[in-house]
Amino acid sequence: MIEYSIVSHIILSLVIGFIIGLQRELNNIYRNRKDLAGSRTFALVALLGYLGAFLNVNIFLGLIVLIGVGYYINAKQDDHKGITTEVALILTYLLGILIAKDQVLAIFIAVLIVFILNIKDKLVQIEEKIDKEEIDATAIFLLITLTVLPVLPNETIDKWNLINPFKLWLFVVLVSSISFVGYILSKRYSDKGIYLTGFLGGLVSSTATTIIFSKRSKENELISKETAIGISLANSMMFFRVFLWVLLLNISLAMFIIIPFVLASFSGFLYLYILSQGGEKITQKIKFTNPFDVIESIKYGLLFGIVFIAIKLGYDYLGNQGLYIVSMIAGISDVDAITIAVSEMPNITTSVAGLSIIIATIFNQISKLVYSFFLGSRENFRYFAIFNTITILVLLSSYLLVSLII
């Protein structure tokens, strides 16, 4: 009698292969092109991989030869022939083998493969909006990261046992990576309206978004309400960024501040929803600095290092008050650095760490309000000031309430 697990593995192999093959087949139908394999072939290749693993028979080399011959025949008929389908076939065969060992991992990888295969058009549209200098900057940054990061000492090198070169540069890479996602999205969707641009700009730099939109409101006061909403959306995304970093680095601290940050975001979005009713759709292209630019990243790394040392000295010499003072000062320029530094400190209580992040966030908001006042129109400033007042009051009051309860 056939075991249930074997039957389920065979069915899973066929389903995964069929889904990947269906994506390739639909893609070729859409482009009116013929390719090496369709859904049935992919399903059979996945099954072949599973049976090979089950019977302990390796036919990988034969499959490579077969795929190579098929590619050669198709390439003679199509000058623009790529190798995506062929690579997908090889991966499908390997997935069949993997199903015999780890079905969950096989499903996860299959989903990733379908996702990657399906985003070609979006990638082409994004690539058209990125110039050569940006690609060069990104490539150099990644090269430096991959070559430098592994050789950096993964231990503290200062007398305060605070600066770890490996972790410091890793933080720069992580922060830059999140900013880079927003940077790419803003390049792709910056012509879809000022609200979406502001929202995505918050992933890159809420400060840069505030400055650019404020200047735009001064140039054309008729769109002051729209620019204020764009600025406020960017700053709402800053709340998300702060909470994300804390969640990644210190789960207990994240659970402590989740209510204040969620309530502040919700109240801000509610105000913006009311304010945006009947708003005009205005396009706005923002020119951000590439977060993967090496010089900018080095500056960011130095800022991280300075903030880490300042926090340690402030806390050692002035206690909690010193920590709060550093949070005020550091928060004016950047809230990510102080958030990461406080989340990594081992010897402070959750309430003190949470209040430090709240203070840094509030002073960061106040600094951007100053930018709005001096660079933007009065109406732009007024709308943004209302948003700031609401979110700051909710953030601070909800934090104090959580502190009293916990």
pLDDT (tens digit, 9 = 90+) per residue, 231-269?
A: 999 899 889 889 988 998 899 999 999 999 999 988 988
Instruction: Of 59-63, 166-170, 176-180, give the range with the top mean pLDDT.
Output: 166-170
- Is 162 found in the same domain as 60? no
What pLDDT is attached to residue 63? Answer: 77
Same domain for 65 and 171: no
Total residues found in the chain within this entry: 406
Q: Are 90 and 183 members of one domain? A: no
Which runs of consecutive H residues, i.e. helices, occur in 31-83? 39-55, 60-77
pLDDT at 344: 83
Identify the band that residue 376 occupies on the pLDDT scale cut at 50, 70 and 90: very high
- Is 228 inside any structural domain? yes
- In this predicted structure, what is the pLDDT of residue 33? 65
- Both 151 and 111 in one domain: the answer is no
Looking at the structure, tell me whether residues 81 and 149 fall in a common domain: no
Q: How far is it, in rounded angstroms, from Cα 125 to Cα 8?
A: 40
Between 277 and 230, where is the model more confident? 230
- Max mean pLDDT among 134-143, 254-263, 287-296 falls in 254-263
Query: Do residue 269 and residue 383 come from a single domain?
Result: yes
54-96 confidence digits (pLDDT tens): 888 878 777 777 777 776 766 666 655 567 778 888 888 889 8
What confidence score (pLDDT) does residue 193 get?
Answer: 65
Half-sphere exposure (Cβ direction) of 76: Cα atoms closer than 13 Å: 5
In the chain, the number of structural domains is 2
Where residue 171 falls among pLDDT bands split at 50, 70, 90? confident
pLDDT, average across residues 355-376: 94
Tell me which residue range forms the domain holding 81. 4-118
Name the pLDDT band for 381 (thresholds 50, 70, 90). Answer: very high
The string of pLDDT tens digits covering residues 310-341 is 888 888 888 899 999 999 998 988 898 899 88
Task: Give the predicted TM-score (pTM) of the model.
Answer: 0.66
pLDDT of 279 above 60 = no
Buried b (16+ CB within 10 A) or exposed e, 234-272: bbbbbbebbbebbeebbeebbebbeebbebbbebbbebb
| Residue after which a domain boundary falls, among 96, 118, 140 | 118
Residue 1 has pLDDT above 70, yes or no: no
pLDDT confidence bin for 186, thresholds 50/70/90: low
CA end-to-end span of the chain, whole Å?
59
pLDDT: is 138 or 345 the higher one?
A: 345
Judge if 234 and 282 occupy the same domain.
yes
194: nearest Cα among 286, 271, 289: 286
Overall average pLDDT of the 220-229 stretch: 86
In a domain, 277, yes or no: yes
Of residues 192 and 245, which shows the higher confidence score? 245
The DSSP code for 279 is: -
If you average pLDDT over residues 268-295, what whole number do you get?
69
Structure confidence at residue 208 (pLDDT): 83
- pLDDT at 136 (0 to 100): 65
The answer to whether position 365 is within a domain reads: yes
Inter-axis angle of helices 224-249 and 165-189, nearest 10: 150
Per-residue model confidence (pLDDT) at position 348: 86
Percentage above 90 pLDDT, the chain: 19
What average pLDDT does the chain have?
81
Does 124 fall in a domain? Answer: no
Percentage of the chain with pLDDT > 70?
80
Cite the beta strand spans of 213-292 per DSSP E. Answer: none
Predicted pLDDT of residue 126: 59
pLDDT recorded at residue 367: 93
**pLDDT one-digit tens code per residue, 9-48:** 888 888 888 888 888 887 777 666 666 667 888 888 888 8
d(CA 145, CA 161) in angstroms, rounded, equals 23
Q: In terms of pLDDT, which residue wins out, 371 or 220?
A: 371
Check whether residue 102 and residue 210 sit in a common domain: no
Hey, how many other C-beta atoms are within 10 angstroms of the C-beta on 1?
A: 3
Query: Which of the pair, 22 or 188, is modelled with greater confidence?
Result: 22
* C-alpha pair distances (Å), 382 with each of 50, 194, 228, 291, 376: 65, 18, 8, 31, 10
Q: 123 lies in a domain? A: no
Same domain, 202 and 72: no
Same domain, 114 and 205: no
5 band by pLDDT with thresholds 50, 70 and 90: confident
